[in-house]
Amino acid sequence: MWGEADADLFEKIGPEFSKIPAMTGSGQQPSAAQRIDTLLDAELDAAAKSQDDVLRRTAQDFAALRCPPAEVTVNFSGGLTQRCWSVSRGDGTYRVVYLPKAGYFSLCVESDFGPLDIGVHGPALGCFGSV
């Protein structure tokens, strides 16, 4: 689903915070939620300009389910948990979250105990479009 141009963009902006300007126009550091929104905005902008129809439609579908980043505890295999950021409303089965320690997005399955990481990682649209 991701073409070479899209991969190049992802390589340039990357998912990690280090590639996002550390200061806002007012000279203040942006919050974690603002920095995550910046990552998502860049990814959606690139998708909107893409020649790939499927990527553009995936971006439109993701934008419809996108929500402001909200902290959430994600469960991992082995009983581990981590504070992450939910960036899409769950559809009852899946949601996309940002893993700050890893520096990328993840597709999580909804469970009785909260979101569960299922090992699908990378750009937000790649995770979202995998189901």
When pLDDT is cut at 50, 70 and 90, the band that residue 24 belongs to is low
- Confirm if 35 and 14 have CB atoms less than 8 A apart: no
Domain of 85? 4-128
Cα distances (angstroms) measured from residue 80 to each of 60, 71, 74, 76, 116: 33, 16, 8, 5, 10
Q: Which residues pair with 80 in a beta bridge?
A: 76
Number of domains in the chain: 1
pLDDT reported for residue 107:
98
Q: Name 129's Cβ contacts closer than 8 Å, sequence gap at least 6.
A: 1, 54, 55, 58, 62
Tens of pLDDT, residue by residue over 25-63, are 666 788 999 999 999 999 999 999 999 999 999 999 999
Q: Give strand ranges (E) for 16-122.
A: 66-76, 80-88, 94-99, 104-109, 116-122
pLDDT reported for residue 56:
98
- Confirm if 122 and 99 have CB atoms less than 8 A apart: no
pTM score? 0.79
